[in-house]
A and B are shown apart, each in its own frame.
Chain A
């Protein structure tokens, strides 16, 4: 089985979010970048397929040279090889088209992308990719088993989950639940050393027509001070008369 795991290079979840250049650009100054958490759950599940079923695992990212440490981390976790499409991602469709080109040529059985990146939260790359490849698609996937070309997947739905059967080629929108948080791996020294020798191929991007463009960012209004109630009665009164939510 050939697996492609799509990796987004995103600010760490604890990052303070600021903008520069007239609020048009994210301020990366002092920000630590990581593998998008939704992608990392998928990568870890891919490692399971590699170790238990002999799958090969390739990782791919669309981004500039600054994203290479993130790809190297994925290699240190255990991916076999990496691809970087050398361009700044513009929007979800742009990324999906770059990925689709590589995916078509690579003939993968399984492609795992996170259900969304935690920076732009588009939530569209897995679905677009499945559509561009005419592959089967399971979003918000919290469980996945593959035997031959048959897959059994669990999808999180509003208020529950459902079990699905499908076939490869398959695109997954992954998230926590594909593996448990405690299954995530911290690369060890041997993994880091080996990652340096693994292939990281840099590809030139395809021209893609832009469909959406970011005009400006805004930060939420600063929050007023909390109103502390001294009794449960006072709280209920505040929620009823002032906030009008009960």
Chain B
């Protein structure tokens, strides 16, 4: 019996969501009085996992797994789980982990719950809290199978350090050619930008910005804050911004620590998508905009006046608090 966490990396470097999943795994392992094992695929920072409470690391080093592949990764993690007799398996909510988890669930005949936002309410029976209805509600759900898979929501638990030995053991799963039925031929990714999924701060713009030519404001503010940029649905529908930036019910969910909405009125679908963010700030000319009812802080004012001031003052603030 153990708790197993899949610690995802990007080019070898551990993702923040992986460290969060490890922190969460440590807490579950403590509650179950067992050990926490991480499975790492072509990671170059395995030693860092000890800081987040990982007792042992199954380190897979395989050239065939340099490019992400759902079935091959799921199979490798399944074999790690079996080797370790894991009864609870934790993955993050990254795009890749969300591919792996359902496939792994079938392979291990395990019950799987996604979007889990807290430690289990109880271990026996195994009940967890997850978001449902696109963040308009929570659901307490029980997993009844022997092996349980949890997909942890980003930024739901946070990073928690605790010392552990983090012993690294090389592990070589058997990889079968038939796992490689899907091949990546091209990747198009902005490497210098924070993605919405990983971001602690998200700066988002709506129709109030009047046109794509004004997006420099959003980008400049995001740069000062080290934030990802996002937009409302009408903005992506009009082609002002790429679809990948659309946040809301039919776009991406946002679970950042700070979400700043500029010129977004706050349609119910948008609010649902960003509801998991911890602190919401709205800047809008219309004091009656529904977003003010959902926000923690706000400024009633013209984005074209407020945002440049905010950028300048934040630069000063950052310089003074560096």
Binding site for B on A (CB under 8 A): 11, 13-14, 17, 19, 26, 37-38, 92-93, 96, 118-128, 130-132, 136-140, 142, 152, 155-167, 175-177, 180-182, 210-220, 223-224, 226-230, 232-233, 235-236, 238-240, 243, 245-246
Contact = CB atoms under 8 A, between A and B. Distances in A.
Interface residues of B, number: 91
Nearest to A38: B250
B193 interface: yes
Contacts of A176: 243, 246, 250-251
Contact of B144 (A159, A166, A211): A211
Given A137-B103, A235-B310, A160 B244 contact: yes
Contacts of B183: 164-166
Interface in B281-322: 281-282, 292-300, 306, 309-310, 313-314, 317, 321
Contact of A124 (B114, B144, B194, B246): B114
B243 A142 contact: yes
Contacts of B137: 17, 19, 217-220
A163 B185 contact: yes
A182 B141 contact: no
B312 to A, nearest CB: 8
Contacts of B201: 245-246
Given A121-B134, A131-B107, A245-B258, A239 B139 contact: no
Top 7 nearest A-B pairs (CB, nearest first) are A160-B189, A127-B102, A159-B195, A211-B111, A131-B106, A124-B102, A163-B186
B101 A121 contact: no
Given A161-B187, A245-B201, 8 more contacts: A13-B268, A13-B269, A121-B115, A137-B182, A157-B96, A158-B197, A166-B181, A232-B309
B310 A128 contact: no
B130 to A, nearest CB: 8
Most buried by A among B106, B194, B249: B106
Contacts of B190: 159-160
Interface string B55-74: 00000000000000011001
Contacts of B275: 220
Given A139-B98, A157-B95, A214 B140 contact: yes
B142 A119 contact: no
A125 B98 CA distance: 11
Interface majority SS on A: helix, strand, loop or mixed? mixed
B182 A166 contact: yes
A163 B188 CA distance: 8
A71 B103 CA distance: 27
A115 to B, nearest CB: 8
Given A159-B198, A164-B183, A239-B279, A137 B99 contact: yes
A221 to B, nearest CB: 10
Given A17-B133, A92-B102, A176-B251, A162 B268 contact: no
A118 B134 contact: yes
A174 to B, nearest CB: 12
B300 to A, nearest CB: 6
Contacts of A215: 127, 139-142
Nearest to B183: A165
B257 interface: yes
A110 to B, nearest CB: 14
Contacts of A163: 184-188
Contacts of A165: 182-183, 185
Nearest to B94: A158
A107 to B, nearest CB: 18
Given A13-B268, A226-B297, A212 B138 contact: no
